[in-house]
A = this chain, B = another copy of it.
Amino acid sequence: MKELIKNSLNDLDSAMELRELVINKINNQKLTESDIIEIVDTVDDLSFEDTQKLGSIFRRFPLGCDLLEIGVGPCSSSLTLPQFIENCVFTDHMGFPIHLCGYALADIAEKEGLTPIEVMNEVYNNVEVPLDLDHFGRFGPMRFPKEISHCMGDCYYNGPPYKGCPRDRIHKRLITKEREYSNEFGEWIKKSATVCVNVVEEQGGGDHGADISEMEDVAKAAQKFGRGVEGIFHIGDGYEDLITGLKACNDLDVDVLVIEGGPFNRSKDRLKDFAKSVAVSRILVKGGVVATNGAYEDECRVGLRSGLNVILSGFSGNHHGYMCGYNIKEARRNNFGLPRVLKIMKEEAEKINICIANRELLKVLARSSRFLNHNENHLVYPSMIGDYFIGDAHWVSITNSKMYNAPYFGKTLDSLEEELNCDKVGVLGGRYISWGIADALKPEELYVSDVDPWVEHATVKILNDNGINAYACNGNDKKALESAEKSVITTMIPEIVLRIKNKFDAVSLL
């Protein structure tokens, strides 16, 4: 893998080969600690610039998800239920996934004389965006003493290296309270799109997280319901801790990797090791999405330049409100970090010409996922073509949100199959919808045109490697149209569909 990593810096095929190798190992439970060490060591040897370049390469379709996104924590034990729901509705209006800290919802429930799941139901009934559940344990939402649920974020304020909570607090759990509503456990997961598990205990941070066996139970429960699993780990010393964290996440078969830097980035070379953690995660992440839930402003910017997808922020009172985007001596409880993280993300996105997900884009993902239904099969992650998933963790997340069930007037693979009914098919746009058309309808010849040469090259290669005669059209829609009997506009973005439809006689899915 060492050579593949180095070659990936300048050769897409090498990067594709590496991803196929890693995904294959993950799917067959054959990814070993030595594999992880080899990858970490190789990336360690790269320069700071090459590390960022490598990470960005592995964020490109189809090696990973090429979207940026903000996850938002709207909850806090100090909020009333109306204030909390107002924050949720506001986040939903913006189209950002909602990150729910189980303990805060349970604390609010206790104050309002409700059971924890009744507060979760309030959220579920008021929003459509995906719900990402954190601080969730063996019995349901974790419960902490006030000194933890109302912690002021001293460790983030003081900065690294984290040597235990500055206020000597340890990870005390109110297990009796948690057991009280363990009957509600399954309902929480059903209402969530993704569930977080924290492996910090494996990384020696026992005073900061649940034990790994509990995390294993939670991960398994989420997977049983087909929910995505997000593995949270610390950068720690930037080497041993990084390896342990990645290993522990892999053992739990997580879909998304969530990196915590900030005070928990105890590395001598903070920014290089943040970049390295992101780049290595991009190579290893099963579901193609890499996030951070703790990163100072400089770490956020370096992370975004190294292939990061998601930065978690939050409302005032929520601990994620201060954990990302601030600097030492700025990060503290009651910060409302969302505007700052959005501005940082916009500035970086502009430089690298990448999209920030919003409500319109989530609707496009939902439509695309609705389309990829064929003969009762949902051809979306973890469905695969060869060693490639169709879609990524975002697709699982949107499929498990209420947005997926919004009224949908478009076609499905089933209806398209009837409409096409021909051997030579053109696809204008070469991403996951085209993969679904190829995989489900198995046309004799498929002509692929995409404005991004990488996308076109990779898609044709993957389809050819998996028994489908696909031909590249050098981004020339006309060539695809002329070569095929019928051509399909494979985007669910209405403006783009219209623009193509105005130029060519092609089938649209909307």
Contacts and interface: CB of A to CB of B under 8 A. Distances in A.
A342 B85 CA distance: 11
Contacts of A169: none
A3 interface: no
A93 interface: yes
A465 B394 CA distance: 54
Interface in A252-309: none
B342 A89 contact: yes
A51 interface: no
A89 B499 contact: no
Contacts of A497: 494, 498
Given A498-B498, A501-B501, A510-B495, A93 B94 contact: yes
Nearest to A341: B86
12 contacts: A86-B339, A86-B342, A89-B343, A90-B339, A90-B343, A93-B94, A93-B342, A93-B358, A316-B316, A494-B497, A495-B510, A499-B510
A487 interface: no
Interface string A145-186: 000000000000000000000000000000000000000000
Interface of A: 82-83, 85-87, 89-90, 93-94, 316, 336, 338-340, 342-343, 346, 358-360, 409, 494-495, 497-499, 501-502, 508, 510
Counted per complex, copies of this chain come to: 2
Contacts of A360: 360
A168 B343 CA distance: 40
Contacts of A346: 89, 93
B339 A336 contact: no
Contacts of A82: 340
Contacts of A89: 339, 342-343, 346
Contacts of A340: 82-83, 86
Contact of A498 (B94, B338, B343, B501): B501
Given A339-B86, A342-B89, A409 B499 contact: yes
Contacts of A510: 495, 498-499, 502
A342 B91 CA distance: 11
B494 A498 contact: yes
Given A316-B316, A336-B336, A342 B90 contact: yes
Contact of A94 (B83, B85, B94, B508): B94
Nearest to A85: B343
A86 B342 CA distance: 8
Q: Which 8 A-B pairs have the closest CB atoms?
A: A494-B494, A86-B339, A90-B339, A86-B343, A89-B343, A494-B495, A86-B340, A498-B510
